[in-house]
A and B are shown apart, each in its own frame.
Chain A
Amino acid sequence: MDDLFTPPSGDWQRVSPKLATIRRILILIPSSVLVIAGVLLSLLLADFQWIGGLLSVLALGGAVWGWLWAGRNQRSWGYAENADDLLVTRGVMFKRLVAIPYGRMQFVDVEAGPLARAYGVATVTLHTASPETAADIPGLPAAEATRLRNRLTELGEAHGAGV
């Protein structure tokens, strides 16, 4: 069944494992705050111990699930530059494969938040005239993101076909 989402030629280029690290940090901060709040609550309010305990357990469970999800999700992302199209795949449970002909590109965005910058990764998004096209590739190493943007722009101009 897995061959349903393989590229027509070549292999998927995978995104950086740093994406999983960044997402784990983003998940761990709120969940650790919740765990601490839960522990404090059960220590301070003897009558409502069970609320604090429940909060801690739920937050801990969320953190463990998020930790595993981040790893699996990061491994599911992939992209391939074919002769005429860019292919992007993602998702473990809900799988997607989007193919965008280079000539359909309207513009390319490169974005990086503070945490992403600290880890040296960025998100590249390819926009077409259709709002349905979801072609973003997160967790690209900065150099690769710049290379991909330049290459997509170049290819877009070479294949350009207007709207």
Chain B
Amino acid sequence: MAPESDVATEAVGLRTHPLTSVVQGALWAAAASVGLIGSIFTGDGWGDMSAVLSLVISLVGGLLLGMGFGFLTWLFTRYVIDGSELRINSGIVTKASRRIPYERLQSVDIAEPLVARIFGLAELRIEMAGGKDSRTSLRFLRLADARDLRRVLLARAHGTAPDESPVAEQRTIITVVPPERIVIGTVLSLDFLFAAAGSIALIVGAIWFGQLVVALGGIIPLGTWLAQIIAKRILQQWEFALSRGHGGLRIERGLLSRTSQTIPYARVQGIAIKEPFVWRRLGWLRLEVDVAGYAAHGNDEGVASSSILLPIADRTLAESVIAELIPGFDVDVPRTAAPRRSRPFAPIGWRYRWVGANERTFVAREGWIERTTSIVPHHKTQSVELRQGPLQRRRRLATVEVHTPQGPVDADGRNLDADEARGVVLAQLARARAARS
């Protein structure tokens, strides 16, 4: 199976789409000009050169450099799909060959950054379990090819030959979140309200006192924050569609850049229900999910795999989605609440803190501004911790933590009664043991 050398350049295999270099160039040009616009606003620019000229130079320069680099990368990148693995050979000077055995494959996502989308291209992201370098991406392919390749890879990962599975994937839509709902939800979130009110107050104040320059120092950070909120909560979650296929849930979202990701049922490590302050009164909530391997990459690329399972939903829908991912889940479990003497540690929040468990899941609730309910299935419990500091000891309190892989889920019960906390830890160990066997 293995050829003579691990990094031998194979002249076989498929190439990515030839327009890759153009897309790469456009991405570089965009990056270069974004950086420059930032520095023009702060008044640096390029010495004596006029702002427009320097912008044009950076755009053209970025485009040409990016296209050149993109062309060379494209020329030297080939991928091979064979019976047992996907092989990607790349590198201009330093040759690299990466092998991805199908059974190690955790998930395959498709991302369409805006520029690539204009050309009808997409990037294929392949996740394997492991550290930082566990993501491989293949850019750029025709969207239809990317979808085909994903179908083949996922089918192989599940141990079936690709030709046995139907040509078109069988998918049932669970829900499509209407864009206006996402907009209303964002407008009604506290940080948006704060950023918007702050910006308006600053502008009004600046006009009132005629001190535009002074106010600019406050408007720029507030405006950037506002833009980030809009980009993250509205543009990225636009036309959010959740559907069900064999092996997992599929999420498709985005207005400018589209992302399509798959969450296999078996890889869900925990779910967090988040109910922000205003939303709670309207019965809305947000679902976030812990999937091993996802959080390690962070959200640096904007369109990267995100941990949001449902950006906004009502309780019935959310419960049906959770029930699908974690069967046997129930919020009405026997609870252990934080006692009144934990008040000095959380003057208001102590009332909303409790942990509980039924035979399938561990549930922890906390927060009074944004209420968070963390759900961890017993068979995913990584470890359990009991801890106590000197102040907690004086008040006979202790903290319980149920550890999950990195992600938004944080199932902690802080400042519980010490003896009850110990009981929770021991009971959780017994439940986790029972769930594994």
Contact = CB atoms under 8 A, between A and B. Distances in A.
A4 B379 contact: no
In terms of DSSP, what is the predominant structure of the interface of chain B? mixed
Given A4-B398, A85-B429, A161-B379, A103 B386 contact: no
Contact of B383 (A5, A94, A101, A163): A101
B429 A97 contact: no
B386 A96 contact: yes
A119 B101 CA distance: 44
B433 A99 contact: no
A118 interface: no
A159 interface: yes
Tier of interface size on chain A: 20 to 34
Contact of A93 (B389, B396, B436): B389
Interface stretch (B37-45, B73-81, B175-183, B419-427): B419-427
Given A85-B429, A128-B403, A98 B379 contact: no
B130 to A, nearest CB: 10
A94 B393 CA distance: 9
Nearest to B436: A161
B389 A132 contact: no
Contacts of A128: 382-383, 403
Contacts of A99: 383-385, 425, 429
A83 to B, nearest CB: 9
Nearest to A96: B387
Interface in A31-68: none
B401 interface: yes
Interface in B378-412: 379, 381-390, 393, 396, 398, 401, 403-406
B385 A98 contact: yes
A103 B381 CA distance: 10
Nearest to B386: A97
B304 interface: no
A10 interface: no
Nearest to A160: B436
B289 to A, nearest CB: 15
Contact of A94 (B384, B389, B396): B389
A159 B436 contact: yes
Tier of interface size on chain B: 20 to 34
B129 interface: yes
Contacts of A84: 429, 433
Interface in A99-118: 99-101, 103-104
Contacts of B379: 161
A130 B383 contact: yes
Nearest to A97: B386
Interface string B27-55: 00000000000000000000000000000
A159 B436 CA distance: 9
Nearest to A90: B387
Contacts of A134: 385
| Residue among B386, B390, B404 facing the most chain A CB atoms (10 A cut-off) | B386
Contact of A101 (B292, B386, B433): B433
B388 A104 contact: no
Given A1-B418, A130-B403, A163-B292, A96 B382 contact: no
14 contacts: A1-B393, A4-B388, A4-B418, A4-B419, A94-B389, A95-B387, A95-B393, A96-B387, A99-B383, A101-B381, A101-B433, A132-B382, A133-B382, A163-B292
Interface of B: 129, 267, 269, 292, 379, 381-390, 393, 396, 398, 401, 403-406, 418-419, 422, 425-426, 429, 432-433, 436
